[in-house]
Amino acid sequence: MEGLFGKYRVILAPMAGVSDIAFRTVCREMGADLTFTEMVSAKGLSYANEKTRHLLDLAEGEERVGVQLFGHEPDTMASQASWVQEMLGNSLAYLDINMGCPARKIVSKGDGSALMKDPELAARIVAKVKEASTCRVTAKFRRGWALGDETCVEFAKRIEQAGADAVCVHGRFAEQLYRGNAEWESIARVKSAISIPVVGNGDIIDGASARAMAEQTGCDAIMIARGAEGNPWIFAQAKAALSGIDEPPAPDASDRIGMARRHARLLNEREGRNIVRMRKHACWYVAGLPGASKARALFNACSSLEEFETVFDQLESHCL
């Protein structure tokens, strides 16, 4: 696994509604060592739900991908992990088990970070998935469930004992959702307590923060989530900072609008009418540019590539 994280040190996190094929493509082009699909429901896969299975489609040239499964039934998680491995074959870099998502619709069913409240069940899921598959298996979780009650170290030990090949730790409590700051020292404490590799996650927004997390925690790799939204350049910045070389210059208005256009075209080629998913991405790309407020309102009414292109043209004439 150390070899894996030697190769895949800067990783795009699995994000529902965000890390689709188009976004993964631009992030890989900008330097991401590995990208994750959106998180995938094991239960949905077990029902042969086409919408769920569609999440596992790969982009052209996407040789390796990470897949994150969520669910709380050990047998279902194991059977679907086996199916994912069979379907993706050598394209599957590794399987991650979601034990960190704090969204209400996820935890209300006992999935995601709700598993941190039941370490025994979480460990059984890891053991079952390992038993059913031959690929590397990891688990992503948080500092703890309840605000102020850090349990990640003992939880990580249980996950390691169950057979996980690595863990990813997000430095917030589940009850925090995404508020406040990620506490990186919790990642360092996990790193010191277990022998398997640790990936750090939370509040990586540029090259400097990527380097700071690595230095403060000793983590084997970093995983970038919200910091990449509208900012795929962060991967090249992070890799440069981790290597101790000069970071590439920050994108200017032309770069940002140009990347937004490319992203929209990629999404249109793949998703057609689902290009409405571009609305949030477009808003992220142009945040802070002159005329961005007006553009956001226009983006939120767009439902075709042509309409997005018209708004990009207007914004470009305003900015450049």
One-letter-per-residue 3-state SS of the chain:
CHHHHHHCCEEECCCCCCCCHHHHHHHHHCCCCEEECCCEEHHHHHCCCHHHHHCCCCCCCCCCEEEEEECCCHHHHHHHHHHHHHHHHHHEEEEEEEECCCCHHHHCCCCHHHHHHCHHHHHHHHHHHHHHCCCCEEEEEEEECCCCCCCHHHHHHHHHHCCCCEEEEEEEEHHHCCCCCCCHHHHHHHHHHCCCCEEEECCCCCHHHHHHHHHHHCCCEEEECHHHCCCCCHHHHHHHHHHCCCCCCCCCHHHHHHHHHHHHHHHHHHHHHHHHHHHHHHHHHHCCCCCHHHHHHHHCCCCCHHHHHHHHHHHHHHHC
Among 294, 308, 306, 302, residue whose Cα is nearest residue 257: 308
pLDDT of residue 272: 66
pLDDT band at 149; cut points 50, 70, 90: very high
User: What's the full length of the chain, in residues?
Assistant: 320
Among 286, 274, 116, residue whose Cα is nearest residue 190: 116
Backbone angles phi, psi at 133, to 5 degrees: -135, 165
Q: Is the separation of the CB atoms in 14 and 38 below 8 Å?
A: yes
Distance CA 264, CA 259 (A): 9
Q: Is the separation of the CB atoms in 28 and 62 below 8 Å?
A: yes
Distance CA 144, CA 195 (A): 20
**Residue boundaries of the structural domains of the chain:** 2-243, 253-319
Output the pTM of the full model: 0.93
Q: Which pLDDT tens digit goes with each residue over 83-92?
A: 999 999 999 9
pLDDT of residue 209: 97
Please state the rounded mean pLDDT for residues 267-281: 86
Which residues are marked as active site? Answer: 101
CATH superfamily of 2-243: Aldolase class I (3.20.20.70)
Domain 253-319, classified CATH 1.10.10, yes or no:
no
pLDDT band at 62; cut points 50, 70, 90: confident
Asked if pLDDT for residue 28 goes beyond 60, the answer is: yes
What does pLDDT average to over the chain? Answer: 94
pLDDT of residue 15: 94
Q: Which two tokens stand for residue 255?
A: 């770069």
